[in-house]
């Protein structure tokens, strides 16, 4: 599974960086991996936000399922126009 990634630049005092590097090396991890672990540990008990789809989205979904089940396909000549019109 591919998930989108993002980079974050954080400025920290040198003594804190040294401390984090020593903690990371204790576990045989690179500093970035250790920081990622700390963040994941911090948010582990949080619920992932979910949102209700709009009525328009639900109707489009139901229509797409019906068309898929019926074996309908779409021929798209101009992909940019197709996505702009969605």
Q: pLDDT of 36-57, one tens digit each? A: 999 999 999 888 888 888 999 9
Task: With respect to residue 50, please indicate whether it lies within any of the assigned structural domains.
Answer: no
Task: With respect to residue 76, please indicate whether it lies within any of the assigned structural domains.
Answer: yes
Domain boundaries, position 21: 14-43
Find the angle CA(71)-CA(73)-CA(74) to the nearest 5 degrees: 160
Sign for the pseudo-dihedral over CA of 14, 16, 19, 25: negative
* Structural domains of the chain, count: 2
* Contact assessment for residue 39 and residue 31, using Cβ atoms and an 8 Å cutoff: no
Task: With respect to residue 77, please indicate whether it lies within any of the assigned structural domains.
Answer: yes
Task: With respect to residue 33, please indicate whether it lies within any of the assigned structural domains.
Answer: yes
More reliable by pLDDT, 75 or 11? 11
Sign for the pseudo-dihedral over CA of 79, 84, 85, 86: positive
Q: Quick: pLDDT tens for 4-33.
A: 899 999 999 999 999 999 999 999 999 999
Residues 39 and 59 in one domain: no
Task: With respect to residue 25, please indicate whether it lies within any of the assigned structural domains.
Answer: yes
Task: With respect to residue 7, please indicate whether it lies within any of the assigned structural domains.
Answer: no
Task: With respect to residue 4, please indicate whether it lies within any of the assigned structural domains.
Answer: no
Task: With respect to residue 62, please indicate whether it lies within any of the assigned structural domains.
Answer: yes
Give the pLDDT band (50/70/90) at residue 1: low
């Amino acid at each position: 599974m591919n998930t989108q990634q993002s980079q974050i630049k954080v400025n920290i005092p040198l003594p804190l960086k040294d401390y984090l590097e020593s903690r990371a090396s204790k576990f045989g991890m690179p500093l970035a991996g250790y920081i990622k672990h700390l963040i994941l540990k911090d948010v582990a008990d949080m619920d992932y936000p979910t949102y209700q789809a709009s009525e328009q989205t639900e109707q489009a979904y139901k229509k797409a399922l019906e068309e898929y089940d019926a074996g309908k396909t779409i021929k798209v000549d101009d992909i940019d126009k197709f996505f702009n019109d969605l």
